[in-house]
Amino acid sequence: MTQMQQVLKAYFGYDSFRPLQEEIIHHLLGKKDTLVLMPTGGGKSICYQLPALMSEGTAVIISPLISLMKDQVESLRANGVAAGALNSMNSETENSALRQACLNGQLKLLYISPEKLLAEMDYLLRDMHISLFAIDEAHCISQWGHDFRPEYTQLGILHERFPNVPIIALTATADKITREDIVKQLHLQEPRIFISSFDRPNLSLTVNRSFQQKEKHKAIIDFIRKHPGESGIIYCMSRSKTEDVALMLQGQGIRTAVYHAGLSPSLREQAQDDFINDRVQVVCATIAFGMGIDKSNVRWVIHYNLPKSMENFYQEIGRAGRDGLPSDTLLFYSLSDLILLTKFATESGQRKINIEKLQRMQQYAEADICRRRILLNYFGENRTYDCGNCDVCKNPPERFDGTIIVQKALSAIARTEQQIGTRMLVDILRGNLNAELKEKGYHQLKTYGVGREIPARDWQDYLLQMLQLGYIEVAYNENNHLKIAPAGREVLFGREHASLVVIKREEKTEGKKRRRKKETPTLAQSLENANTESTDLFEALRALRKRLADEEVLPAYIVMSDKVLHLLAQQRPTTIEAFGNISGIGEYKKKKYGKDFIELIRRFV
Q: Binder to ligand ADP among 99, 322, 589, 590 (CB under 6 A)?
A: 322
Measured from the CB atom, the residue of 67 and 561 that comes closer to ligand ADP is: 561
CA 56, chain centre distance (Å): 36
The candidate with the shortest Cα–Cα distance to 155, out of 60, 243, 264, 41, is 60
State the nearest-atom distance from the C-beta of 372 to Zn ion, in Å.
Answer: 5
By CB under 6 A, tell whether 505 contacts ligand ADP: no
- Altogether, the residues listed in the chain come to a count of 605
By CB under 6 A, tell whether 43 contacts ligand ADP: yes
By CB under 6 A, tell whether 44 contacts ligand ADP: yes
- The listed partner (ligand ADP, Zn ion, none) that binds 296, CB under 5 to 8 Å by sort, is ligand ADP
Q: Binder to ligand ADP among 120, 181, 316, 323 (CB under 6 A)?
A: 323
Q: State which of positions 256-315 bind ligand ADP (CB under 6 A).
A: 296
* Neighbour count for residue 434 (Cβ, 10 Å): 12
Residues 6+ away with beta carbon under 8 Å from 385 = 373
Q: Binder to ligand ADP among 7, 20, 38, 85 (CB under 6 A)?
A: 38
Measured from the CB atom, the residue of 322 and 408 that comes closer to ligand ADP is: 322
By CB under 6 A, tell whether 561 contacts ligand ADP: yes
- The listed partner (ligand ADP, Zn ion, none) that binds 53, CB under 5 to 8 Å by sort, is none
Q: What is the DSSP string of 167-212?
A: EEEEES---HHHHHHHHHHTT-SS-EEEE-----TTEEEEEE---S
Question: Going residue by residue from 524 to 553, which x/- string records binding to ligand ADP, judged by CB under 6 A?
Answer: ------------------------------
State the nearest-atom distance from the C-beta of 170 to ligand ADP, in Å.
Answer: 7
State the nearest-atom distance from the C-beta of 320 to ligand ADP, in Å.
Answer: 12
Applying CB under 5 A, what is the total number of residues that bind Zn ion? Answer: 6
By CB under 6 A, tell whether 327 contacts ligand ADP: no
By CB under 6 A, tell whether 45 contacts ligand ADP: yes
- The runs of H, that is alpha helices, within 416-500 are 422-430, 435-440, 456-468, 486-492
The candidate with the shortest Cα–Cα distance to 311, out of 170, 171, 181, 145, is 145
Question: Which residues pair with residue 284 across a beta bridge?
Answer: 234, 258
Q: What is the DSSP string of 382-419?
A: ---S--SSBHHHHS---EEE-HHHHHHHHHHHHHTTT-
Measured from the CB atom, the residue of 442 and 557 that comes closer to ligand ADP is: 557
By CB under 5 A, tell whether 374 contacts Zn ion: no
By CB under 5 A, tell whether 271 contacts Zn ion: no
Piece in contact with Zn ion (CB under 5 A), picked from 9-17, 101-109, 263-271, 378-386: 378-386
Question: Rounded to whole angstroms, how far apart are CA atoms 520 and 578?
Answer: 32
Which three-class secondary structure state does DSSP give residue 234? Answer: strand
Strands 399-401 and 499-501 come out as antiparallel
CB of 319 closer than 8 Å to CB of 280? no
State the nearest-atom distance from the C-beta of 399 to ligand ADP, in Å.
Answer: 40
By CB under 5 A, tell whether 387 contacts Zn ion: yes
- The listed partner (ligand ADP, Zn ion, none) that binds 113, CB under 5 to 8 Å by sort, is none
Q: State which of positions 466-505 bind Zn ion (CB under 5 A).
A: none
Piece in contact with Zn ion (CB under 5 A), picked from 226-234, 338-346, 368-376, 458-466: 368-376
Piece in contact with ligand ADP (CB under 6 A), picked from 11-19, 106-114, 437-445, 586-594: 11-19
- The listed partner (Zn ion, ligand ADP, none) that binds 387, CB under 5 to 8 Å by sort, is Zn ion
Please state the φ and ψ torsions of residue 234, each to the nearest 5 degrees. Answer: -115, 115
CB of 152 closer than 8 Å to CB of 115? no
By CB under 6 A, tell whether 113 contacts ligand ADP: no
State the nearest-atom distance from the C-beta of 335 to Zn ion, in Å.
Answer: 24
- The listed partner (Zn ion, ligand ADP, none) that binds 43, CB under 5 to 8 Å by sort, is ligand ADP
State the nearest-atom distance from the C-beta of 73 to ligand ADP, in Å.
Answer: 13
Piece in contact with ligand ADP (CB under 6 A), picked from 254-262, 316-324, 508-516, 587-595: 316-324
By CB under 6 A, tell whether 379 contacts ligand ADP: no
Q: Binder to ligand ADP among 17, 111, 211, 314 (CB under 6 A)?
A: 17
The candidate with the shortest Cα–Cα distance to 236, out of 305, 314, 334, is 305
CA angle 163, 166, 169 (to 5 degrees): 120
Residues 6+ away with beta carbon under 8 Å from 360 = 309, 310, 378
Measured from the CB atom, the residue of 159 and 545 that comes closer to ligand ADP is: 545
Q: Binder to ligand ADP among 11, 25, 28, 41 (CB under 6 A)?
A: 41
Q: 3-class secondary structure for 29-91?
A: HCCCCEEEECCCCCCCHHHHHHHHHHCCCEEEEECCCHHHHHHHHHHHHHCCCCEEEECCCCC
By CB under 6 A, tell whether 239 contacts ligand ADP: no
Residues 6+ away with beta carbon under 8 Å from 400 = 499, 500, 502
By CB under 5 A, tell whether 393 contacts Zn ion: yes
State the nearest-atom distance from the C-beta of 201 to Zn ion, in Å.
Answer: 10
By CB under 5 A, tell whether 376 contacts Zn ion: no
CB of 239 closer than 8 Å to CB of 284? no
Q: How far, CA to CA in Å, does 64 sit from each of 139, 171, 596?
A: 11, 12, 37
Question: Which residues pair with residue 58 across a beta bridge?
Answer: 130
Q: 3-class secondary structure for 274-294?
A: HHHCCCCCEEEECCCCCCCCC
Residues that bind ligand ADP (CB under 6 A): 14, 17-18, 21, 38, 40-46, 296, 322-324, 561
Binding site for Zn ion (CB under 5 A): 370, 372, 386-387, 390, 393
